[in-house]
């Protein structure tokens, strides 16, 4: 039988921020595909609940309470995954400070909030990518999927720390992709548009929602299913010729 170029069933996939929202959706989707998600999440209760959902589906996962901003915590999570499964095939750098962020002018952002967003969203992604690089190099293959945001090309006001952090992800991806290309590790950025999840976003309201939808070529809300397809695609054998790229999933709201 011909190889299925989209098969991810044997993949070990670290998903950071897997306790809610899109991270939870990626975890459930990879589990449904027969893959093994490693759930790396700071919120212990949500972590347990997603692991239980995967078990109820008949899937398997490894749940490791992790702070992506803490190098010791990240290294312990990656070690636990390698000990359990012998390798890591995919990292989805999804964890971020996002849903709870209030909208405010940049000159009113409290210093602590600025630092936390920059640290978790940029340094957290860097630390996780650094930690998986060694086992991926040893295995001679790997995939890193970094998550940016459609707020970047639009310069959406009210979230300058968040938009700044998600801009950095694009540059980070390009450097990583170049530095890891000889090791057969593909690194790409996904740029989602606003996507509805089970989580209520601090700054979202009906007017803003309509405004966003009206800017799109595909005039509807983004759903987790729209992003799951891209995550599975980027984790699959099919993309061996795609690296260093930014792929926007936003109904054509931006063109990059």
Ligand X SMILES: NC(=O)c1ccc[n+]([C@@H]2O[C@H](COP(=O)([O-])OP(=O)(O)OC[C@H]3O[C@@H](n4cnc5c(N)ncnc54)[C@H](O)[C@@H]3O)[C@@H](O)[C@H]2O)c1
Listed residue (29, 158, 63, 51) closest to 106, CA to CA? 158
Distance of closest approach, residue 3 Cβ to ligand X, in angstroms: 31
* Residue at shortest CB range from ligand X: 21
Distance CA 174, CA 172 (A): 5
Q: How far is the CB of 48 from ligand X (least distance, A)?
A: 13
Structure-block tokens of residue 199? 């989580």
Separation in Å, CA 6 to CA 27, 69, 223, 238: 17, 32, 21, 6
Q: Which is nearer to ligand X, 184 or 196 (CB)?
A: 196
Please identify, using beta-carbon distances, which residue of 43 and 246 lies nearer to ligand X.
Answer: 43
At 107, give phi and psi (nearest 5°).
-80, 0
- 162 classed as catalytic: yes
In angstroms, the Cα distances linking 160 to 104, 202, 219 are 9, 15, 26
- Taking the least distance from each CB to ligand X, the nearer of 7 and 67 is 67
Closest approach of Cβ 166 to ligand X, in Å? Answer: 6
Q: How far is the CB of 197 from ligand X (least distance, A)?
A: 5
Q: Which of 13, 189, 173 is nearest to 90 (CA)?
A: 13
Binding site for ligand X (CB under 6 A): 16-17, 19-23, 41-43, 46, 66-69, 94-99, 120, 124, 147, 149-150, 192, 194-195, 197, 199
Catalytic one of 26, 126, 162, 194: 162
Residue 22 C-beta: closest distance to ligand X, Å:
4
Whose Cβ is closer to ligand X: residue 183's or residue 226's? 226
Sheet (strand 36-41) strand order: 62-65, 36-41, 12-16, 90-93, 142-147, 185-192, 246-249
Which is nearer to ligand X, 147 or 228 (by Cβ)? 147
Name the residue among 113, 217, 229 with its Cα closest to residue 165: 113
Q: Which residues are catalytic?
A: 162
């Amino acid at each position: 039988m011909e190889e299925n170029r989209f098969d991810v069933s044997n993949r070990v996939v670290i998903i950071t921020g897997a306790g809610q929202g899109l991270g939870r959706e990626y975890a459930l989707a990879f589990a449904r595909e027969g893959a093994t998600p490693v759930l790396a999440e700071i919120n212990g209760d949500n972590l347990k609940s997603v692991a239980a959902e995967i078990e109820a589906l008949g899937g398997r996962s490894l749940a490791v309470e992790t702070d992506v901003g803490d190098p010791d915590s990240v290294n312990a999570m990656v070690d636990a995954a390698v000990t359990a499964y012998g390798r890591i095939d995919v990292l989805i750098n999804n964890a971020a400070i996002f849903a709870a962020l209030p909208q405010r002018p940049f000159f009113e952002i409290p210093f602590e909030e600025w630092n936390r967003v920059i640290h978790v969203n940029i340094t957290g992604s860097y630390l996780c990518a650094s930690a998986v690089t060694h086992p991926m190099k040893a295995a001679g293959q790997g995939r890193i999927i970094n998550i940016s945001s459609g707020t970047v090309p639009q310069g959406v006001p009210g979230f300058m720390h968040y938009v700044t952090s998600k801009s950095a992800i694009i540059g980070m991806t390009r450097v990583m992709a170049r530095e890891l290309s000889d090791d057969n590790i593909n690194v790409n950025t996904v740029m989602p548009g606003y996507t509805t999840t089970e989580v209520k976003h601090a700054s979202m309201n009906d007017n803003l929602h309509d405004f966003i939808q009206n800017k799109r070529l595909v005039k509807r809300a983004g759903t987790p299913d729209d992003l799951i397809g891209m995550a599975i695609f980027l984790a699959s054998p099919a993309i061996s010729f795609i690296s260093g790229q930014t792929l926007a999933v936003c109904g054509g709201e931006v063109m990059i």
